[in-house]
Amino acid sequence: MNIFVAGHKGMVGSSILRALKKRGYKNIITKNKKDLNLLDQNQTYKFLKKNKVSSIYIASAKVGGIMANINYPAEFLYENSMIALNLVHNAWKLGIKKILFLGSSCIYPVKKSILNEEDLLTGKVEPTNEAYAISKILGLKLCESYSNQYFKKNGTDFRALMPCNLFGPGDRFDEKNGHVIASLILKFKKAKKNNLNEVIVWGSGMPKREFMYVDDLADAAIKVMNLSKKKFDTTTGMHSNFLNVGYGKHYSILTIAKIIKNAIGYKGNIKFDKSYPDGVYQKLMNSKKINKIGWKPKHDFKKYLKKIAQNAYQNKKIN
């Protein structure tokens, strides 16, 4: 049983890799991006066949914050779609039975404040990350379609998780293209080191976001991958193959900025630039289904946000 963690250098993939090793898994296969181009169907097929892969965690993705999604929609749509297409289809061709695909809460309609699995495809997604959302819906539906069509024939069992926003070790610290928490940490870090009077935060600060420490997602991923088919189907419902994974609480961007500011010890002011888009006002996952199988987040949001911010400021490795 050879387990391939696709995207093991990223925040999610590296967390899954750590979690598998912690649980004693020895048969884990990884490959650097420069040595395996998942956008190449033939190369992907040869790699999976040569390494006799039996299950795949698909954590490989082109990711970024709101401005990256606005500026590079073509790359977000093409690259993420091709990763899903090549891994899912080639896995099926080679008789690989198990896949866990990692999606995103952005797949849901923009007008929904509480995000239920049943809300998928009932309305328009947020325009600022539409391309990324479409690619993730594609990946989810690929897994669902192959499983529904081929499980009875050859045991194809491809599953998916839709997590809320994530933070933790391995995040991309980039003011313009990174996720919101990593971007804010970097801004406050630079402001304190350079004795700046204020930190400018994009948007109004009023939108609320649900964040979860990435290691909680890794725990959920391994738990769901190892559920019996009967238990998984009972939990998700007829013909559905995915579950929400959320923290259960959300916080305004203003609150998050203040937590980071205090953790780093920055004494200046926070100024919001309303010329930048806010995105969806509120996104809170309904995670009741995955809670029923015994999974709940273990890492306190505020505690670990402070830890991440402090370690980043001190240039410490975050575990």
Tokens of 183: 């971007």
* Residues classed as catalytic: 132
What is the C-alpha separation between 197 and 190, in angstroms, rounded? 11
**How many other CB atoms are found less than 10 A from the CB of residue 296?**
12
**How many other CB atoms are found less than 10 A from the CB of residue 124?**
10
Of the chain, the end-to-end C-alpha distance in Å amounts to 27
Asked if 169 and 251 count as a contact pair (C-beta separation under 8 A), the reply is no
| Phi, psi at 251, each rounded to 5° | -135, 150
Asked if 143 and 97 count as a contact pair (C-beta separation under 8 A), the reply is no
Please provide the DSSP assignment of 196-249 as one string: -SEEEEES-S--EE-EEEHHHHHHHHHHHHTS-HHHHHHHH-TT--EEEE--S-
What is the C-alpha separation between 237 and 228, in angstroms, rounded? 14
| Phi, psi at 35, each rounded to 5° | -100, -15
Alpha helices per DSSP H over the chain: 11-22, 41-50, 66-71, 73-93, 130-154, 180-193, 214-225, 229-236, 253-264, 288-291, 301-313
